[in-house]
Structure 1
């Protein structure tokens, strides 16, 4: 995710702090509780992520989601929805907790049988008719609504656009849209089925599998070919054109834009195949079945790396004060996330620096190589500010935790340029060739999976042929910024 900068006549700022969901209210979902006592009280759970302790749920692993939305043309009214979740129990389960906090639940079934349900905290707690044994598979079917109007004090989830809807679920807002295990540690395959009135087009992650008409409505179906974190789900509904072109190795490049802006945006869209080719030279083959740009007529305040279809604000491409090199580099930032953050997802949110640091690194490297915007100058400027960023937000791999009972944004300057600075220091420490090998090996080894900071440290040490734990301890966890290898004259503001 990357903040869209404000208008300025001078060079745009290199550091951005995105606006992201700042607080989620306790469950706004209302549900009819089937009259029967549960074996034990419904209790909100979480997997214990230090930054989002109430998100994610223990005891099961999701294999796939099949989500159907019915949109009736008014982006102020709830959509009817059915979410089907195929999962395997990793522990005996009396209850199954799902994250869901902004919709009305009509009914729940587990393996075809009606189940009791309740809401507590941000959880939908399901009680099957019989306990689920460890290793057993289950299909949970939830009939619910999905409300595009945010509840007071919340952001994220559905984004209302000028002609419909899009999604922006990062970091903790997917469960404002559909019931799920809302943590990137539990990635799954997704199928979307979206029904919308005549004249509107629906697009989602992955590739199309079907399109059927019934009366004045059309239903589109899409399926991902690779597992995906819930925060990366994307559904777009609007008066859109879907544009196709070829990328490297015949890759499908699919852009979704407001039809009225098709010609205006083409000068930007045609750059994507070349940008993909540039990234492939750096880190290897693109990891998914398709890529493209989704342009939304909305003021979100950010751009977002939703898997296979990155979300961008329309005005990023239409405001004349943004230099061309700058817009290009933002496009590369979200593209780079397809490798770093989407294909290789964080194991916990404290590993976010691996996502944003790498995306910012390739953003800056692209500007350096393609537009003569010196990487060294940007990193030196980041070094000057690094101590203040650490004081405000914590070190790159140890973000400051929220106060008890509160939620805060984790998207701070230290995870952007502050974390790209760590990668610059690493390249200075181990050399360009070893650094490039590390990047390629990282995305190859952990493709379609999750990885943590400790995994990166181990792989970097193996690639360099020496123990780098001391280097990383200082750069990732230190309150003060260490000396920059090769640049003893750089001042971090000490």
Structure 2
């Protein structure tokens, strides 16, 4: 995610308070059968979001049915079906769900008891679930788009409907889930709306049915997806189709009244995909496109196969064309870095945002003559201050109280792209380019850690790079830049 700057682009400081509103972490939990303790919220122990996510099961698929009645201030009726496999004996199953009314829960077709505690929905099946057993959890509930005081994401009301922004930990504000990127799954969406509205979701359309005054559209992903990357758009929209490299279906969703005005931007996407493929290999998913929302989100978001952009980004005269182009490439790059290869924990966020920022800056250099080295030198100058404020790239400070998206600080954007620049300086252009391609190929459709990246980089370079990465990723101070002994750092604030 990329926050939309609120400064004039005559000084385009692409503030990367990155992936911001994708609220972080997960929580479908299953409690071991040997533990008869009362229902309580659990977590998988993520350092930044310790109460999100749940141990004890692995989600394989979500089937989410949503009924929207034309008012984005009223709850949607919903049914979420979760297919999972128990990885431990379970007497209870914890799901992350925080903003809706639960009407009933069934496990493998049998009614189950349930209660809400904290941000967890705790389910007690009619009988314990054995390790290795498949289970189908069916939750009938509402999905409430109305904001709460502490809301950092979830449903985003637009001028004509709704969209989603679940990063980093807000997926469970929309549907029950194991809301952590470590547990990716297949998704099917079925969205019923009044006629005259268009619904679109991640993946490709698989069915459309008309019944009376309503239309139901179904979409399915072909690749596993993290809950934070789910997207459903409902509104008075036009879906624009074109072809990308190798016949890739490119699908954009744009307010109908803005269809002609947005074409100058939308038609850029195939060439941008082609450019990215030239850097890191074939696009990893079944489709791509832009979702342009009539909403003041304050950010852009890399929801899988359908990146979310606020409409005003393309209409503000103070933003030069090259700058908007580079933001489009930022979210596109995330399809490889963050979506296909997802972080194992939120401390690995630098791998998402650092890479997206890197390709954004590289695109600006190659296409618009905006020197990458100049940008990296400025990032180096500020790096110690960013580390002081937000922690080092791979060990970021936790979110501020009540501000979960505050983990998206400059250190995970330009501060982390700076690490990649230093790495390229250290191992050379040829090995760096090979590493990037091998990274997205090796961990495609999966999760990876910072340690995985260090190991692959060391293997690619033919030498141990752990010392290099320890200093650049975990040090309180920014190390000297290889090849640039003249680069200097500004004193952090207060020094």
Instruction: Indicate whether 1:144 and 2:156 are aligned.
Output: no
Deviation at 1:321, TM superposition (A): 1.1
What's 1:15 paired with? 15
Shift of the 405–288 alpha-carbon distance from structure 1 to 2, 3 Å rule, reads closer
Name the counterpart of 1:31: none
Summarize deviations over 1:257-305 as a string: whole Å, max 9, x none. Answer: 0000000000000000000000000000000000000000000000000
From 389, 413, 417, give the equivalent of 1:416.
413
The corresponding residue for 1:2 is 2
Structure 2, unaligned runs of 5 or more: 28-34
Q: Does structure 1 residue 301 correspond to structure 2 residue 298?
A: yes
Aligned residue for 2:485?
488
1:136-181 deviation line (CA, Å, top 9, x unaligned): 0000000000000111221200000000000000001000000000
Cα 1:406–1:254 change in 2 (3 A) is closer
SS in 2 for 1:94: strand
Describe how 1:53-202 pairs up with structure 2 within 5 A: 53-202=50-199
Question: Is contact 1:97-1:124 (8 Å) kept?
Answer: yes
379, 389, 411: which one aligns with 2:376: 379
CA–CA distance in structure 1, aligned partners of residues 242 and 280 of structure 2: 22
1:11 CA displacement: 2.7
Q: What residue is the counterpart of 1:468 in the other structure? A: 465
Alignment CA distance shift 1:23-1:240 (3 Å): closer
Out of 438, 441, 445, the position equivalent to 1:444 is 441
Q: What's the counterpart of residue 333 of structure 1? A: 330
- Alpha-carbon displacement from aligned partner over 1:188-231 (angstroms, at most 9, x marks no partner): 00000000001000000000000000000000000000000000
Q: What is the SS of the residue equivalent to 1:291?
A: coil
Question: Matched residues in 2 for 1:389 and 1:22: separation?
Answer: 21
Deviations 1:80-102 (A, max 9, x none): 00000000000000000000000
Whether the 8 Å contact between 2:192 and 2:214 is mirrored in structure 1 is: yes
Alpha-carbon deviation of 1:20? 4.0
8 Å CA contact retained: 1:14, 1:378: no
TM-score (norm 1): 0.95
Deviations 1:315-339 (Å, cap 9, x if unpaired)? Answer: 0111111100000000000000000
Partner of 1:284: 281
> Structure 1 residues 9 and 182 mapped into 2: Cα distance closer, same or farther (>3 Å)?
closer
Question: What is the CA deviation profile of residues 327-364 of structure 1, one whole-angstrom value per residue up to 9, with x for unaligned ones?
Answer: 00000000000000000000000000000000000000
CA contact (8 A) 1:21 1:154 kept: no
What displacement does 1:16 show?
3.0
- How far apart are the structure 2 equivalents of 1:20 and 1:179? 21
Give the structure 1 partner of residue 32 of structure 2.
none
Cα–Cα, structure 1 residues 365 and 223, in superposed 2: closer, same or farther, change >3 Å?
same
2:358 & 2:404 partners in 1: Cα distance?
28
Q: 1:408 to 1:306 in 2, by over 3 A?
A: closer
- Report the 3-state secondary structure (helix = DSSP H, G, I; strand = E; otherwise coil) of the residue aligned with 1:329: helix
Partner SS state of residue 443, structure 1: helix
Q: Deviations over 1:21-64 (max 9, x none)?
A: 5999xx9xxxxxxxxxx954111100000101111110000000
1:317 is the counterpart of 2:317: no
Out of 358, 364, 368, the position equivalent to 2:365 is 368
Q: CA–CA distance in 2 between the matches of 1:444 and 1:19?
A: 23
Show the counterpart of 2:429: 432
Q: What secondary structure, in the 3-state scheme, does the structure 2 residue paired with 1:135 have?
A: coil
- The aligned counterpart of 1:206 is 203
Query: Relative to 1, partners in 2 of residues 1:157 and 1:405: Cα closer, same or farther, differing over 3 Å?
Result: closer
Aligned residues of 2:150 and 2:402 also touching (Cα < 8 A) = no
How many Å apart are 1:402 and its aligned residue?
A: 4.3
Partner of residue 347 from structure 2, selected from 346, 350, 355: 350
Is 1:398 paired with 2:389?
no
Q: Distance in 1 between matches of 2:281 and 2:407?
A: 29
Quote how far apart the aligned CAs of 1:492 are. Answer: 1.7
The equivalent of 2:31 in structure 1 is none
Aligned to 1:52: 49
Compared with structure 1, are the counterparts of its residues 199 and 231 closer, same or farther at alpha carbon in structure 2 (3 Å cutoff)? same
* Structure 1 unmatched runs, 5+: 28-37
Shift of 1:14: 2.8
In the alignment, the residues of structure 2 paired with residue 404 and residue 7 of structure 1 have an alpha-carbon distance, to the nearest angstrom, of 26
| 3-state SS in 1 of match to 2:85 | strand
Instruction: Find the aligned partners of 1:118 and 1:348 in 2 and give their Cα distance.
Output: 28
Q: C-alpha offsets along residues 449-473 of structure 1, whole Å, 9 cap, x if unaligned?
A: 0000000000000000000000000
Query: CA shift at 1:19, angstroms?
Result: 8.4
